[in-house]
A = this chain, B = another copy of it.
Amino acid sequence: MTPELLSPTLPTVNVEVLRARCATCSMHQLCLPMGLDMGDMDRLDQIIGRRRKIARGVSLFRIGDAFQNLYAIRLGHFKTYQINPGGEEQVTGFQMAGELLGMDAISADRHHCNAVALEDSEVCEIPFSSLEQLLGNMPTLLRHFHRMMSQEITREQSVMLLLGNMQATQRFAAFIVNLASRYEARGYSGSNFQLRMSREEIGNYLGLTIESISRLLSKFKKEGWLRVSNREIEILQPAKLKAITAGTDICK
């Protein structure tokens, strides 16, 4: 692949593989290998299966699929959603690079949600049985894996809080603030970013309709808290948004 990049004077190295090692991945400080030394990171690398490209709109896994792998997102964004018996979606989360997908499948050996790429993305396939073996021998990895699972639990608890007792304005502010902080943690701007999801997906996630999201965006724009253009977001008053999220500022 792309052989023109390989100078003949250099030793032959498979570029794909090189690119794909944990040690050279920009997410290794957030992702599973966090805190591992080089030796351990190599051992982890060895069990990781394919690095797969997932095109926008394509499913990584679906409800009911047999559980084989966890997936670490290298690049891009995903949404996960469940289907209620009436056939309607419920978005349960938006995931970005450095996050792990599929942990809900461990309990029953089947996936409980669908995961779809919101844009062209890349993931690392982590065969769970191999990972579990490795965990037995690598306390640092074990610890970090538990932290990631636990993080998923606390993340969901905060969504429960959001859905259970916040008003629409507060929910939406919380959503924006949450995205901003996650981009910041990844070294991107926390004040300028693009929404990778549609209004409909946001509304579904927040337990609101698409119209409500649209109105909220208009209002946040009118109030001067945000600059909005299509899916482009600029946060103009981060403190205000945080205050609304916190409920300090009861502004409808």
Residues in A lying within 8 Å of B, measured CB to CB = 82, 84-86, 88, 90-92, 103-108, 112-113, 132-133, 135-137, 139, 142-143, 146-154, 156-161, 163-166, 204-207, 246-248
Q: How far is the CA of A112 from the CA of B156 in the complex (A)?
A: 12
Say which residue of B90, B106, B132 sits within 8 Å of A161 (CB atoms).
B90
Do A153 and B149 form a contact, CB below 8 Å, given A85-B247, A136-B142? yes
Chain B residue with Cβ nearest A80: B157
Say which residue of B88, B147, B154 sits within 8 Å of A165 (CB atoms).
B88
Q: How far is the CA of A139 from the CA of B130 in the complex (A)?
A: 12
Assess the A160–B160 pair: CB atoms within 8 A. Answer: yes
| B contact residues around A135 at 8 Å (CB) | 135-136, 142
| B contact residues around A163 at 8 Å (CB) | 160, 163-164, 207
- Measured CB to CB, the closest approach of chain B to A81, in angstroms, equals 9
Given contacts A103-B149, A104-B154, A165-B207, 19 further A-B contacts (CB under 8 A): A82-B161, A84-B161, A84-B166, A85-B246, A85-B248, A92-B161, A103-B150, A106-B146, A106-B149, A106-B150, A107-B150, A132-B142, A135-B135, A135-B142, A136-B137, A149-B153, A160-B160, A164-B205, A165-B204
